[in-house]
Chains A and B, each alone.
Chain A
Amino acid sequence: MEEVKLMKGNEAVAEAAIRAGVDAYFGYPITPQSEVIEYLMAEEPHKRTGMVVLQAESELAAINMVYGAAACGKKAMTSSSSPGFSLKQEGISYIAGAELPCVIVDVVRGGPGLGTIQPSQADYFQVVKGGGHGDYNLIVLAPATVQEMADFIELAFELAFKYRNPAVILSDGVIGQMMEKVVFSPQKERLTDEEVDKLYNSWATTGKKNGRERNIITSLELVPERQEAHNHHLQAKYKKITENEIRFETFNCEDADYLLVAYGSSARICQKTVQLAREKGIKVGLLRPITLWPYPSEAINKLADQVKGILAVEMSAGQMVEDVRLAVNGKVKVEHYGRFGGMVHSPNEVLDALETKIIGG
C-alpha cells in the first residue's frame, strides 16, 4: 500500500529502489549522496525483496558490477556524486555501447576537481552531453522534489529497459539532502530468474539453456563497416527516444513576456522568482525540462515566438544555456544566470539578473 514518509532525497532514492523491485545496487560512498548506500545497508533489502546491496572498492568497480548484473537482464543501479560520476564515465560508455539497461543517480556537487561538497548543477555537460568516449546518449531525468527522486527510479528503469539504454537521474546536493514529504507506491515484486529468462532470452547472458545460441554482450566491433552500422542502429534508437520521451512542465507561461528555463532545484527557486516578478507586474513564465536528454527544444522554440527574452538559470557557469540557445536559434535574446562552485542563488538574485540581463539589457 501507499505510504507517506518525511525523508531526504537520497533516502527516497534508496527506498524507491527497494519498492521498484530493483535486483542490485552497487555503490561507493561520496558526499553528498552517501545516504543512498547507508539507507540501503541499514534497511537490509535482501530480507525485504532479495535485493543485493554491495559496497564496491571504487566507483569504477561499482559501475562495472552494474554492467555485469545488467548484462544478465537484472535491474541494476548505482549512485554517486560528481567526482565519482567522472570515474564512472568509462563504464557508462561501455554500457551505452553494449546497450544495457541500468540506472545511475548523480547527486551533483561543485567542481572542478575535488571542488566542494555543496550543491551544484555543473555536471550538465558530463551527464547530458556524454563525458565518456564515442557517440552515445543517456536518458537523463532531472527531479525537482524529493517525491520525484522516488518516482523517477521506477520511470528510469522503465525507460532503460524499454530502449536498452542507461538512464541517469541528475539531481543535486539540494534535492539529495533536503527533507520533504514523499508518497511511496506499493512494493513491486522483483522478477524471478524464470521471468528474466523469458523476457530477455534474446540478449541476456544467463547461461545458454534449452539449446539456444550463446548470448554475447560486447561493445567491440573491429570491422569499421559493422561498427558504423552499430552506430547507425544507436542513432536510430536515440531518434526514437527523442520522438517519444521528452518531458517538461510549464508554469505561468500562457501570458508570459519573459521566460525562465531551469531544471532541478533551480526550477524550484525560479517558481518563487516568477511569483516575485508578477507581484512587480512583470509577466514571467517558467519552463522546467524534466528530461534533459531528450531536451524539450521544440517547446522552448515555440515559446521564443511569444516572449521577449529568455534567462537560463542553473547552478553552473552556463552549461544548459547552450541547449536553450540551440532551441531558440537566435529568435530572442538568451542569457545565463547562476551562482556556482557550491553557491545557491536566491529567487531575488534571479529576478535581479532577469531585470538587468534580459529586461533592461
Chain B
Amino acid sequence: MSENILTPEEIIKTGELVFKKTKLMTDAELSYCPGCGHGVAHRITMEVIEELGLEEQTIGIAPVGCSVLAYEFMNVDMQEAAHGRAPALATGIKRVYPNKTVFTYQGDGDLAAIGTAETIHACNRGENITIIFINNGIYGMTGGQMAPTTLPGMNSSTSPYGRDVHTMGYPLKITELVAMLPGTSYVTRQAVHKPGLVRKAKKAIKKAFELQMENKGTSFVEIVSNCNSGWKMTPVESNEWLDKNMLDYYPLGDLKG
C-alpha cells in the first residue's frame, strides 16, 4: 500500500464516533433494491425527527407502492394507508391531535395519480402536516409501469415504446401545483443521488418539520429519486440518467417558502 493513502484505521480512530444509524430506523432489512434512493430518504427523514426530539409525538403514514412497508423500517408510531389516501389519514390524525407531528411518505403513483384529490385538498386546507414525496417517474412495486411523472418518451412496461404525450398525457408537475395553493407553507424539490444533495435534502426536511411545529400549514418535500430496477439500469447508470434527464423537467430547489 502506498504511503500517501490513508488506511481506514487512520481515518476512523478507535473511540471516535463518526457515524451512527439513527435509533429511529429499525434493524429490519430494507426491502428496497440495492441502489434505490428510498433508503437514504428514509434515513434522513428519521434523523430529522430524532434531531428535533419529536420521536414520542410523531405519527407517520406509509403509502402503497415500494415504500408500503416503510412502517417496518421507521421506528415511530405508523399507520398504513390505502393507495393514495395518506393525506386523508394524516388529516384525521392531525385534527384530533393538533400538537402531534404527522407526516406522510408517498411515491409518485400514490401521491400524484390515485391520491391527487387527497393531496391537493389536504394542501389546500393547509393541514399542518409534512408530506415527503418520492418521485422516481415509475411504478416500482408493481413492476415498472408508467407513472403520472414518467418523462415524455420514457419507456416503461405500459409505455414500452416510450410515453407518447398525445395519447398518454404529460408528466404531472404536482409539486408546482401544490406550491400555488395558499395552504402550503414550504414547497421544495430535492434529490438524494449525490452526497451534497443528500445534505441539502435533509436540511429541507428539517425545515418542513419545523414549519409544521410552528403550525404554518402544509410543508411538502419532493425528492427526485431513481428506480434502477424499474428503469432497467445499474444503480450508477440510473443516478447518471436521473442527473441528465429528470432534473430538466423537475428542476431542484425551493418553489415556495
Residues of A in contact with B (beta carbons under 8 Å apart): 23-24, 26, 52, 54, 56-58, 60-62, 64-72, 74, 76, 90-91, 94, 98, 193, 205-210, 214-220
What are 27 A-B residue pairs whose CB atoms fall within 8 Å in the complex?
A: A23-B96, A24-B96, A26-B92, A54-B95, A57-B121, A58-B117, A61-B88, A61-B121, A64-B81, A65-B89, A65-B92, A65-B95, A67-B79, A67-B88, A67-B89, A71-B92, A91-B82, A205-B93, A207-B57, A207-B58, A208-B76, A208-B77, A210-B56, A215-B77, A216-B78, A218-B80, A219-B80
A76 and B96 contacting across the interface, CB-CB below 8 Å:
yes
Which of B55, B75, B92 lies in contact with A69, CB distance below 8 A? B92
Hey, which chain A residues are within 8 Å of B82, CB to CB?
64, 90-91, 94
A27 CA to B69 CA in the complex, in Å?
Answer: 29
A71 to B76, CA, bound (A): 14
B32 at the interface (CB under 8 A from A): no
Given A61-B121, A205-B59, A208-B55: A52 touches B96 (CB 8 Å cut-off): yes
Mark each residue of chain B from 208 to 221: 1 if its CB lies under 8 Å from any CB of chain A, else 0: 00000000000000
With a CB–CB cut-off of 8 A, which chain A residues contact B118? Answer: 57, 60-61, 64
Contact across chains for B79 and A205 when beta carbons are under 8 A apart: yes
Interface size grouping (class) on chain B = 20 to 34
Given A64-B81, A68-B88, A206-B59, decide whether A52 and B121 contact each other with a Cβ distance below 8 A: no
Cβ of A24 and Cβ of B85 under 8 Å apart?
no
Report the nearest B residue to A94, measured CB to CB: B82
* Total inter-chain residue pairs, C-beta < 8 Å: 126
Instruction: Let me know if B93 and A69 touch, CB within 8 A.
Output: yes
In the bound assembly, the distance between CA atoms of A214 and B101 in angstroms comes to: 15
Nearest-Cβ distance from residue B212 to partner chain A, whole angstroms: 14
Residues of B within 8 A of A66 (CB): 92
Distance in angstroms from B42 CB to nearest chain A CB is: 15
- Is residue B206 contacting chain A, with contact meaning CB distance below 8 A? no
Chain B, residues 64-78, CB within 8 Å of chain A (1/0): the string is 000011010001111
Which residue of A72, A98, A207 is within 8 Å of B56 (Cβ)? A207
* Residues of the B chain whose Cβ atoms lie less than 8 Å from the Cβ of A217: 78-80
A residues near B96, Cβ cutoff 8 Å:
23-24, 52, 69, 72, 74, 76
Pick the contact of A216: B71, B85, B91, B93 (CB < 8 A).
B71
Bound CA–CA A58/B117 (angstroms): 9
Cα A67 to Cα B87 in complex, Å, equals: 11
| Contact (Cβ within 8 A) B80 A56 | no
Q: In the complex, which residue of chain A has the Cβ closest to the Cβ of B62? A: A218
Chain A neighbourhood of B75, CB < 8 A: 214
Q: Which of B68, B81, B90 has the most CB of A within 10 A?
A: B81
